[in-house]
Amino acid sequence: MQRLLSLIPVLIFAAVSTALGLSLSNDPRKLPSMLIDKPTPIFALASLEEGGSGLSSDDLKGRIVLLNVFASWCAGCRIEHPMLMALAENSGIPIYGVSWKDERASGARWLKANRSPYVRVGDDQSGRLGIDLGVTGVPETFVIDRTGRIRYRHAGPITDDVWQETFAPLLAELRTERP
């Protein structure tokens, strides 16, 4: 009995260290999105420019699209920008932009200075759409399918690796889905 009891600590420790080891491959800051497989929240954002058409949730229906949340003050967005430009030209997937928690003028200026990869852009200065999307920082990108449901959320800049490993396979799969 004593023999068995004295084995308990080492067994518990084995379990704990296994859990700790597994957790090393886990990023604690990654927050799973609550909106996966849910419809995009209904919204209507004004445009960044005077007299522009802005962005609404209706614009996102009908095709597979990417929704990219960005801000002019965000360094990660600056890093992501060339990738987005390349995607806009080559991937065939339309990208829509949301300027998050930024002055309208700053957002507009930023897009003018560094060409815009977006089909349309909405101004979310208040951050309300961000909250509805569960955004905690920028950049974040959402994959929205033909029915307007959010299928994936990526937090952080999209790099080549991220695109190849995560987005490309998902988009291929979505394309084969019957609407």
Partner 1 sequence: MEAEIGHFSLILALLTAVLQAAAPAVAMRRRDAALAGFVQQAALGQFAFVAIAFVCLTYAFVTSDFSVAVVAANSHTTKPLLYKVAGVWGNHEGSMLLWVLILSLFGAAVATSGSNLPDRLRTNALGVQGFVGLCFLAFIILTSNPFARLDPAPLDGNGLNPILQDPGLAIHPPFLYLGYVGFSMAFSFSVAALIEGKVDASWARWVRPWVLAAWCFLTIGITLGSAWAYYTLGWGGWWFWDPVENASFMPWLAGTALLHSALVVERRQALVSWTILLGILTFTLSLIGTFLVRSGVLTSVHAFAQDPARGVFILGMLVVLTGGALGLYALRMPALKYGAPFAPVSREGGLTLNNMLLSVAVATVFLGTFYPLIVDLIGNDKISVGPSYYHITFVPIMVLLLLVMAVGPVLKWKRDDFRAVLARLKGPAVASALGAIAVLLITFGRNAVAAAFMGLAAWLVAGSLAVLAHRLRLGSIALAASLRLARTTPRAFYGMVIAHAGMGLTVGGITGMSAWATEKIQMMRPGDVLQLSGFDLRFASIGDVAGPNYQAERGVFAVSRAGRPVAQLVSERRFYPVREQQTTAAGIRTNLISNLYVAIGEPNDSGGWAVRFYYHPLAPWIWLGTLTMAFGGLVSLSDRRLRVGAPQHSMRQAVLVPAE
Partner 2 sequence: MKEHWMAAISRIASVIGVVLMLSAPGFAVTPDEVLQDTRLEVRARELSRTLRCLVCQNQSIDDSDAPLAHDLRVLLRERLTAGDTDAQAVGFMVARYGNFILLKPPVQADTLVLWFGPALLLMVAAIGFGRYVGRSAAAFSAETAPLKSDEQERLDVLLRARRST
Q: Tell me: does residue 18 bind partner 2 (CB under 8 A).
A: no
| 131 forms part of the interface with partner 2 (CB under 8 A) | yes
Considering CB distances under 5 to 8 angstroms, the limit depending on partner class, which of partner 2, partner 1, none binds residue 74?
partner 2
Q: CB 172: neighbour CB atoms within 10 A?
A: 9
Q: Which stretch binds partner 2 (CB under 8 A): 49-57, 130-138, 145-153, 163-171?
A: 130-138
75 contacts partner 1 (rule: CB under 8 A): no
Stretch that binds partner 1, among 27-35, 60-68, 82-90, 132-140 (CB under 8 A): 27-35
Q: Does 161 bind partner 1 (CB under 8 A)?
A: no
* 3 is a contact residue toward partner 1 (CB under 8 A): yes
Window 115-154: contact mask with partner 1 (x via CB under 8 A): ----------------------------------------
CB atoms within 10 A of CB 36: 13
| Secondary structure (H, E, C), the chain | CHHHHHHHHHHHHHHHHHHHHHHCCCCCCCCCCCCCCCECCCCEEECCCCCCCCEEHHHHCCCCEEEEEECCCCHHHHHHHHHHHHHHHHCCCCEEEEEECCCHHHHHHHHHHCCCCCCCEEEECCCHHHHHHCCCCCCEEEEECCCCEEEEEEECCCCHHHHHHHHHHHHHHHHHCCC
Q: Which does 62 bind (CB under 5 to 8 A by kind): partner 2, partner 1, none?
A: none
User: Residue 7 interacts with partner 2 (CB under 8 A)?
Assistant: no
CA–CA gap between residue 66 and residue 153 (Å, rounded): 10
Applying CB under 8 A, the residues found at the interface with partner 1 are 2-3, 6-7, 9-10, 13-14, 16-17, 19-29, 31-32
Interface contacts to partner 2, rule CB under 8 A: 29, 31-32, 34-35, 71, 73-76, 79, 101, 126-128, 131-134, 136-139, 155-157
